[in-house]
């Protein structure tokens, strides 16, 4: 029974308890799967064969292999580069910049820009992958419209600059979220504060650095937290666009984990990769939250 | 509280009833492109039994889909699967024993013994073969003419392949893939079979498993051998030393479709691939071409050995697809009736010939449509001289390690480093005692 002094809540206790059942079930389900993944990471459970029926407990073997075998550390590095440039610098940075510029832009230009970036957000990942493949191929739009007219030779961008193409495509895909969040945050900034800074003689850069950014700190931190978590575990666009290749150039952690679990069939090792990913993202999240707290004190 | 309990019970009963109703339908998962075989069979089955067939048609990566469905306990009653999985699926207890059905099925006598063997594990039939295939080097005849390479092209060793690809590269710089050779993980099993294994088989003699991934007599996987090293050096020559192939085509969003369109559009000179491509290329490219026009455009030759003393003159490896009943099915008798309808002799023979796929039944080989197909009959020499994969439990992991090894070469790693990682992966997976090293 829910204990509360609020009359309405007390009278609604029964329907609320029923309504809470799905939430409780989902929470239990999440706990179950997280627990199952942790347990699996200490076994040699396989997708097929003997070990799929009778897995053995292998202690920390899978975790030791993360460090001693090729693949995992390289993927951590690839994922970090991908996340830093596409989420932190790209989506968050460009989203903030666009939001500030569009704040005082004319309606038509603003509508056009918003449509363009929202289109990227709304396009399904697989569709986006096919589009970027077409853009970046040797006879694709980037070569035909930009590089060739400027006198450059045609370049197969996915052959030569795969990680760069993947980063840019993810910036295109995800900037809308940051833009919308920062646009909404900018609406809450009092016009008087900006005008006061202007009257005090602050130039545009100073107004941005000393007035706007401190006022938006909480939203920036929250956004960084979100985009980092999403991007660190991002899978579909990269998998469809390059499958982690050429070679291992774009093999981020989520793709590495998928290949180990479902191509090689090592569910135990794949689970260890998943847990390691969770710890990395968890560590980054704690870092962001602490930074935000320290600076708001 | 009483009302609440009643509601929950009613909901449970309703859900149970729905599940039971759903269980009465026969379910099947098959790859897209097989509608010609499946849909008439479904119609016939539904008319005969009054049961409904619910089909899941998978457009891509059906092998992975089926494996995960089976492992997750979500497989349909009837499944179509890559035949090399038979031993692993059987070991995992995923496939029903079909002995009780095949014993009284007259058509079973028409199947070739070797294919029955692949599908029979410890005396129990686990799957019914649909078709088989062979592998070869396809080439674009116009590109060969431009490069001044005489036809019929019959390379005697790997150097002949490289020499032809280099001529193509020199005479036609627009061809980005003078030699398309499956590499990396995105092509999955195709890398192992169309690429790695074709070279491996021709890199040494067969004694002691010297040109294979498994020594069947010793019961060990092979972690290092001169043939494995030669095969990896073949990859190194193609992708690093001689740069006879671009890399993008092996990693695009649609690796199969893009490869076929590239061949149809003249962007590939030579291509290591399978017998199905005579039809599949044009279907994928959306181009209508008669048999004569196809013969005008493309030709095939056997994949040569590396030319060393013990190596065979040519290599070839065959796979194929099976249809089976999942062990989890609660309607195995009905599922078998559906399979009988799928394998109805006349319909099956016509479909397999139309697909350009080598049949696995003697009666289908005698069918007029099959006999009239000059391309299918031209494959006979390859069908008589072929081998299969090492379909021992664990093969799919070994195959994934092979694909990773080819990736390592593409990334610029040395042969020593690549082999060391391959061996380490095998030892991690199977234990040192189950891994053999051939000096």
Domain residue spans of chain B: 2-133+318-379, 135-317+394-437
Does A291 have pLDDT greater than 90? no
Model pLDDT, residue A4: 53
A133-142, B285-294, B398-407 — which one is most confidently predicted on average? B398-407
SS3 labels along chain B: CHHHHHHHHHHHHHHHHHHHHHHHCEEEEEECCCHHHHHHHHHHHHHHHCCCEEEEEECCCHHHHHHHHHHCCCCCCEEEEEHHHHHHHHHCCCECCCHHHHCCCHHHHHECHHHHHHCEECCEECCEEEEECCEEEEEEHHHHHHHCCCCCCCCCCHHHHHHHHHHHHHHCCCCCEEEECCCCCCCCHHHHHHHHHHHHHCCCCCHHHCCCCEECCCCEEEEECHHHHHHHHHHHHHHHHCCCCCCHHHCCCCHHHHHHHHHHCCCEEEEEEECCHHHHHHHHHCCCCCHHHHHHHEEEECEECCCCCCCCCEECCCCEEEEEEECCCCCHHHHHHHHHHHCCHHHHHHHHHHCCCCECEHHHHCCHHHHCCHHHHHCHHHHHCCCCCCCCCCHHHHHHHHHHHHHHHHCCCCHHHHHHHHHHHHHHHHCHHHEEECC
Give the confidence band of A295 by pLDDT, cuts at 50, 70, 90: low
Does A297 have pLDDT greater than 80? no
Per-residue pLDDT reduced to its tens digit, B174-185:
999 999 999 999
Range with lowest mean pLDDT among A11-25, A204-218, A250-264, B137-151: A204-218
Tell whether A64 is within 8 A of chain B (Cβ). no
Residues A245, B403: C-beta atoms closer than 8 Å: no
Tell whether A248 is within 8 A of chain B (Cβ). yes
Tokens coding B317: 């490896």
Residues B184, A243: C-beta atoms closer than 8 Å: yes
Of A48, A71, A242, the CB nearest to B92: A48
What integer is the mean pLDDT of A128-132?
Answer: 92
CB pairs under 8 A between A and B: 108
What integer is the mean pLDDT of B52-61?
Answer: 93
Does B275 have pLDDT greater than 50? yes
Per-residue pLDDT reduced to its tens digit, B223-242:
999 999 999 999 999 999 99
Rounded CA gap, B207 and B310, in Å? Answer: 9
- Of B203, B157, B163, B131, the closest CA to residue B302 belongs to B157
Burial class (CB in 10 A: 0-12, 13-18, 19+), B330: exposed
What integer is the mean pLDDT of B170-175?
Answer: 94
Indicate the class that CATH gives domain B2-133+318-379. alpha beta
Model pLDDT, residue B195: 96
What integer is the mean pLDDT of A89-116?
Answer: 87
Are B97 and B125 in contact by the 8 Å Cβ rule? The answer is yes
Rounded CA gap, B56 and B421, in Å? Answer: 39
The minimum CA-CA distance between A31 and chain B, rounded to whole Å, is: 19
Per-residue pLDDT reduced to its tens digit, B314-357:
999 998 999 999 999 999 999 999 999 999 998 998 898 888 88
Tell whether A130 is within 8 A of chain B (Cβ). yes
Minimum Cα–Cα distance from B423: chain A residue: A69
Model pLDDT, residue B208: 87
First CA to last CA across chain B, in angstroms? 76
Does B22 have pLDDT greater than 80? no
Model pLDDT, residue A76: 96
Does B1 have pLDDT greater than 50? no
What domains lie within chain A, and their CATH numbers? Answer: 61-296 (1.10.3720.10)
Rounded CA gap, B211 and B314, in Å? Answer: 13
Model pLDDT, residue A294: 67
Average pLDDT over chain A, rounded to whole?
Answer: 88
Does B16 have pLDDT greater than 50? no
Model pLDDT, residue A267: 94
Does B21 have pLDDT greater than 60? no
* CATH fold match for the domains B2-133+318-379 and B135-317+394-437: yes
Per-residue pLDDT reduced to its tens digit, B367-385:
888 888 889 888 888 887 8
What integer is the mean pLDDT of A268-293?
Answer: 90
Percent of chain A predicted with pLDDT > 90: 51
Distance set, CA B269 to CA B10, B172, B231, B236, B239 (Å) = 66, 10, 21, 19, 15
Rounded CA gap, A82 and A237, in Å? Answer: 13
User: Hey, is A137 helix, strand or coil?
Assistant: coil
Tell whether A65 is within 8 A of chain B (Cβ). yes
Range with lowest mean pLDDT among B15-24, B156-165, B351-360, B408-417: B15-24
Model pLDDT, residue B311: 93
Does A53 have pLDDT greater than 70? yes
Give chain A positions within 8 Å (CB) of B391.
none
Higher-scoring residue by pLDDT: B44, A159: B44
Give B269's contacts (C-beta < 8 A, 6+ positions apart).
Answer: B139, B140, B143, B144, B147, B164, B165, B168, B172, B175, B177, B178, B179
Give chain B positions within 8 Å (CB) of A241.
253
pTM of the prediction? 0.85
Give B279's contacts (C-beta < 8 A, 6+ positions apart).
Answer: B355, B356
**Angle (nearest 5°) at CA A288 between A286 and A289:** 65
Higher-scoring residue by pLDDT: B148, A291: B148
Give the confidence band of B56 by pLDDT, cuts at 50, 70, 90: very high
Cα dihedral across residues B415, B420, B426, B429: positive or negative:
negative
B135-317+394-437 CATH pick, 3.20.20.10, 3.50.50.60, 3.30.565.10, 3.40.190.10: 3.40.190.10
Percent of chain B predicted with pLDDT > 90: 73
Model pLDDT, residue A139: 81
The minimum CA-CA distance between B187 and chain A, rounded to whole Å, is: 9
Model pLDDT, residue A266: 92
Residues A69, B424: C-beta atoms closer than 8 Å: yes
| Spatial strand order in the sheet of B53-58 | B53-58, B26-31, B78-82, B320-325, B128-132
């Amino acid at each position: 029974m829910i204990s509360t002094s609020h009359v309405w809540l007390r009278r609604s206790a029964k329907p609320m308890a029923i309504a809470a059942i799905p939430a409780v079930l989902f929470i239990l389900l999440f706990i179950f799967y997280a627990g199952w993944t942790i347990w699996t990471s200490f076994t040699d459970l396989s997708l097929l064969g003997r070990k799929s029926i009778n897995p053995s407990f292998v202690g920390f073997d899978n975790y030791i292999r993360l460090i001693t075998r090729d693949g995992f550390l390289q993927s951590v590095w690839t994922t970090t580069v991908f996340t830093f440039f596409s989420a932190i610098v790209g989506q968050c940075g460009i989203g903030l910049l666009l939001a500030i510029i569009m704040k005082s832009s004319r309606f038509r230009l603003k509508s056009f820009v918003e449509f363009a970036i929202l289109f990227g957000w709304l396009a399904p990942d697989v569709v986006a992958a096919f589009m970027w493949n077409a853009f970046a191929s040797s006879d694709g739009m980037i070569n035909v419209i930009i590089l060739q007219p400027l006198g450059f030779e045609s370049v197969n961008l996915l052959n030569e600059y795969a990680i760069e193409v993947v980063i840019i495509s993810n910036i295109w895909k995800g900037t809308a979220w940051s833009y919308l969040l920062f646009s909404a945050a900018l609406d809450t900034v009092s016009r008087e504060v900006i005008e006061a800074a202007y009257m005090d003689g602050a130039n545009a850069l100073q107004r941005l650095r000393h007035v706007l950014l401190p006022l938006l700190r909480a939203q920036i931190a929250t956004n960084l937290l979100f985009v980092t978590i999403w991007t660190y575990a991002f899978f579909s666009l990269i998998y469809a666009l390059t499958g982690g290749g050429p070679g291992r150039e774009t093999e981020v952690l989520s793709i590495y984990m998928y290949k180990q679990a479902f191509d090689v069939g090592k569910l135990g090792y794949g689970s260890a990769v998943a847990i390691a990913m969770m710890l990395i993202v968890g560590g980054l999240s704690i870092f962001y939250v602490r930074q935000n707290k320290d600076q708001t004190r | 509280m009483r009302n609440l309990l009643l509601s929950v019970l009613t909901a449970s009963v309703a859900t149970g009833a729905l599940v039971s109703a759903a269980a009465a339908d026969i379910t099947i998962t098959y790859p897209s492109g097989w509608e010609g075989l499946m849909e008439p069979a479904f119609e016939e089955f539904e008319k005969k039994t009054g049961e409904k067939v619910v089909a899941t048609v998978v457009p891509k990566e059906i092998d992975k889909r089926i494996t995960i469905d089976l492992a997750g306990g979500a497989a349909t009653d009837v499944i179509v699967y890559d035949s090399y999985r038979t031993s692993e699926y059987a070991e995992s207890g995923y496939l029903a024993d079909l002995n009780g059905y095949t014993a009284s099925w007259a058509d079973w006598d028409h199947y070739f013994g070797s294919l029955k063997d692949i599908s029979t594990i410890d005396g129990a039939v686990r799957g019914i073969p649909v078709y088989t295939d062979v592998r070869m080097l396809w080439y674009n005849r116009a590109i060969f003419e431009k490069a001044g390479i005489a036809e019929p092209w019959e390379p005697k060793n790997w150097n002949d392949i490289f020499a032809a690809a280099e001529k193509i590269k020199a005479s036609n710089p627009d061809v980005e893939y003078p030699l398309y050779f499956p590499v990396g993980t995105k092509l999955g099993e195709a890398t192992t079979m169309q690429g790695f294994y074709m070279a491996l088989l021709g890199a040494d003699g067969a004694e002691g498993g010297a040109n294979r991934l498994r020594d069947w007599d010793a019961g060990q996987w092979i972690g290092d051998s001169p043939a494995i090293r030669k095969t990896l050096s073949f990859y190194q020559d193609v992708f690093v030393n001689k740069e006879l192939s671009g890399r993008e085509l092996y990693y695009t969003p649609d690796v199969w479709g893009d490869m076929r369109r590239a061949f149809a559009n003249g962007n590939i000179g030579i291509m290591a691939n399978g017998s199905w491509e005579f039809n599949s290329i044009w279907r994928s490219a959306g181009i209508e071409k008669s048999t004569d026009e196809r013969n005008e455009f493309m030709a095939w030759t056997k994949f040569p050995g590396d030319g060393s003393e013990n190596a065979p003159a040519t290599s070839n490896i065959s796979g194929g697809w099976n249809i089976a009943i999942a062990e989890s099915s609660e309607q195995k008798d009905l599922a078998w009736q559906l399979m009988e309808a799928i394998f109805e002799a006349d319909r099956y023979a016509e479909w397999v010939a139309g697909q350009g796929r080598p049949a696995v039944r003697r009666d289908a080989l005698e069918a007029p449509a099959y006999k009239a197909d000059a391309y299918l009959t031209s494959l006979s020499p390859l069908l008589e001289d072929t081998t299969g994969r090492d379909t021992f439990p664990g093969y799919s992991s070994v195959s994934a390690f092979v694909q990773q090894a080819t990736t390592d070469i593409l990334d610029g790693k040395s042969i020593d480093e690549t082999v060391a990682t391959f061996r380490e992966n095998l030892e991690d997976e199977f234990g040192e005692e189950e891994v053999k090293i051939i000096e």
